[in-house]
């Protein structure tokens, strides 16, 4: 009888040791556990994307960032045309204040300006790269196709901060998965060069900034690159008043850019210039725009009238010291009212298209488009792309 009692005692002892071990283990777990209160957490399953829509239909959803006073004025012009993913960035409050954009679309860095000092602005922008990234992400929303950085090359802020904003835009594109490699750039730039009267310091800023962006364009990491030469515009429009000059200079490029972006999304009963055509030009590096009316006297539009307009488009461009004949891709779009188009033989248009192909040289591609409008007259619009980088932009 003593043997069973002994077994019962051993079993009881083993159970007690086991319970003690469980208690010790539980106490260790409890000491490490975090007491989390019930917090309502958002669900991302049905979250809608923050897509910002422009006020028109277009081939591409562009986002526009203006840097410096000149760049912000260009961005403001895009806003007036109906683009809504538009921001302005500056280091001087007095330069940012008059820009006609919503306050939430403006970013002030520093606040005291750069004083035409490119290196000072560069340091400010480098310090605030993450702030710029967050600002652009919030302001642009989602669903964009390309980003265009507008830079006033003469001032310190644009010259020093512009290239950094280009880098930030590349990071933004990659985070959204819309840029697969350095050679499929979805970031472009409009570079506004100063007039000669603005001084040597401004000229040096512009030269260094232009060289930086041209190098990126040549390597395939920046496209398109549009160089707006205000000295050239001053000669093309010599009688403009002071208050009209800068508006004309900015509108001359932004409106043409806008025109091609819009018509590439529209059908044509004649010949359509589509999104794929626009993409080949936008991805070609340095590009130039032109617009020349065709002389029309109420009779048939002759071949020479169209070809003369095409030649004028190459001459009256806004790029100084750049040979547009070195381009390897182009778009030529003719837009006129129905009566004028009825008086324009197809052969005359073909002659103009073919001449542009010859002017650009062997191996070039010319995309065509013919559209009608209610506005009287006939106008030839061109984009020349793949232009060789100039050896010297400044005399």
CA end-to-end distance (rounded Å), the chain? 118
Torsion of CA 69, 164, 187, 257, to 10 degrees: 10
- In this structure, the answer to whether residues 149 and 242 fall within a common structural domain is yes
Cβ density class 78-88: b for 16+ within 10 Å, e for less? bbbbebbbbbb
Tokens encoding 179 = 């840029």
- In this structure, the answer to whether residues 183 and 319 fall within a common structural domain is no
Tens digit of pLDDT for each residue in 347-384?
A: 999 988 998 988 887 889 999 999 999 999 899 999 99
Tokens encoding 126 = 């480098």
Query: In whole angstroms, how far apart are CA 243 and each of 69, 150, 229, 247, 248?
Result: 16, 21, 18, 8, 9
Residue 277 lies in a domain: no
Q: Provide the number of structural domains found in the chain.
A: 2
pLDDT of residue 322: 72
pLDDT of residue 208: 92
User: Among all chains, which residue has been given the structure tokens 């002892």?
Assistant: 13
Who contacts 134 (Cβ-Cβ below 8 Å, separation ≥6)?
Answer: none
pLDDT of residue 313: 75
- Which domain CATH number covers 348? 3.30.1330.20
- In this structure, the answer to whether residues 218 and 341 fall within a common structural domain is no
Bigger pLDDT: 239 vs 168: 168
Whether 384 and 327 have beta carbons less than 8 Å apart is answered as yes
Coil vs helix vs strand at 146: strand
Residue 82 lies in a domain: yes
- In this structure, the answer to whether residues 288 and 251 fall within a common structural domain is no
Instruction: Report, as an integer, the average pLDDT of 190-203.
Output: 83
Residue 24 lies in a domain: no
- In this structure, the answer to whether residues 334 and 253 fall within a common structural domain is no
Residue 394 lies in a domain: no
Residue 182 lies in a domain: yes
Q: Cβ atoms within 10 A of the Cβ of 351, count? A: 17
Residue 111 lies in a domain: yes
Tens digit of pLDDT for each residue in 227-284?
A: 988 777 777 777 777 778 778 878 888 999 999 999 999 999 999 999 999 999 999 9
Give the residue numbers spanning the domain of 309: 284-387
Cβ density class 108-147: b for 16+ within 10 Å, e for less? ebbeebbebbbebbbbbbeebeeebbebbbebbbeebbbb
Whether 20 shows a pLDDT value over 60: the answer reads no
Instruction: Give the pLDDT band of residue 22 (cuts 50, 70, 90).
Output: very low
- In this structure, the answer to whether residues 232 and 304 fall within a common structural domain is no
Tens digit of pLDDT for each residue in 319-347?
A: 656 778 889 999 999 999 999 999 899 99
- In this structure, the answer to whether residues 183 and 115 fall within a common structural domain is yes
Cα–Cα distance for residue pair 64/82, rounded to 1 Å: 12
Cβ density class 369-393: b for 16+ within 10 Å, e for less? bbbbeeeeebbbbbbbbbbebbeeb
Coil vs helix vs strand at 368: strand
- In this structure, the answer to whether residues 115 and 207 fall within a common structural domain is yes
């Amino acid at each position: 009888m003593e043997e069973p009692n002994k077994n019962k005692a051993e079993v009881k002892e083993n159970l007690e040791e086991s319970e003690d071990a469980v208690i010790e283990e539980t106490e260790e777990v409890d000491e490490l556990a975090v007491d989390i209160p019930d917090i309502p957490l958002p669900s991302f399953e049905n979250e809608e994307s923050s897509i910002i829509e422009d006020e028109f239909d277009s081939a591409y959803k562009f986002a526009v960032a203006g840097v410096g006073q000149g760049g912000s004025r260009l961005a403001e012009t895009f806003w007036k045309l109906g683009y809504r993913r538009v921001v302005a960035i500056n280091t001087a409050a007095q330069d940012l204040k008059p820009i006609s954009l919503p306050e939430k679309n403006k970013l002030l860095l520093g606040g005291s300006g750069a004083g035409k000092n490119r290196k000072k602005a560069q340091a400010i922008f480098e310090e605030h790269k993450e702030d710029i990234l967050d600002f652009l992400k919030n302001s642009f929303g989602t669903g964009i196709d390309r980003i265009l950085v507008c830079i006033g090359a003469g001032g310190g802020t644009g010259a020093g901060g512009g290239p950094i904003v280009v880098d930030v835009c590349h990071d933004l594109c990659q985070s959204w998965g819309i840029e697969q490699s350095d050679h499929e750039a979805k970031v472009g730039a409009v570079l506004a060069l100063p007039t000669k009267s603005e001084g040597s310091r401004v000229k040096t800023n512009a030269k260094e900034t232009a060289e930086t962006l041209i190098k990126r364009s040549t390597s395939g990491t920046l496209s398109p690159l549009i160089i707006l030469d205000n000295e050239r515009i001053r000669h093309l429009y010599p009688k403009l008043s002071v208050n009209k000059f800068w508006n004309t200079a900015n509108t001359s490029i932004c409106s043409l850019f806008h025109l091609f972006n819009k018509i590439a999304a529209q059908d044509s009963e004649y010949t359509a210039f589509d999104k794929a055509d626009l993409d080949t030009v936008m991805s070609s590096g340095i590009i130039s725009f032109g617009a020349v009316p065709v002389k029309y006297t109420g009779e048939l539009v002759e071949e020479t009238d169209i070809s003369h307009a095409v030649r004028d488009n190459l001459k009256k461009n806004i790029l100084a010291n750049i040979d547009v004949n070195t381009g390897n891709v182009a778009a030529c779009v003719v837009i006129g009212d129905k009566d004028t188009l009825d008086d324009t033989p197809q052969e005359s248009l073909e002659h103009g298209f073919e001449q542009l192909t010859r002017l650009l040289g062997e191996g070039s591609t010319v995309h065509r488009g013919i559209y009608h409008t209610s506005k009287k007259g006939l106008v030839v619009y061109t984009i020349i792309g793949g232009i060789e980088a100039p050896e010297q932009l400044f005399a």
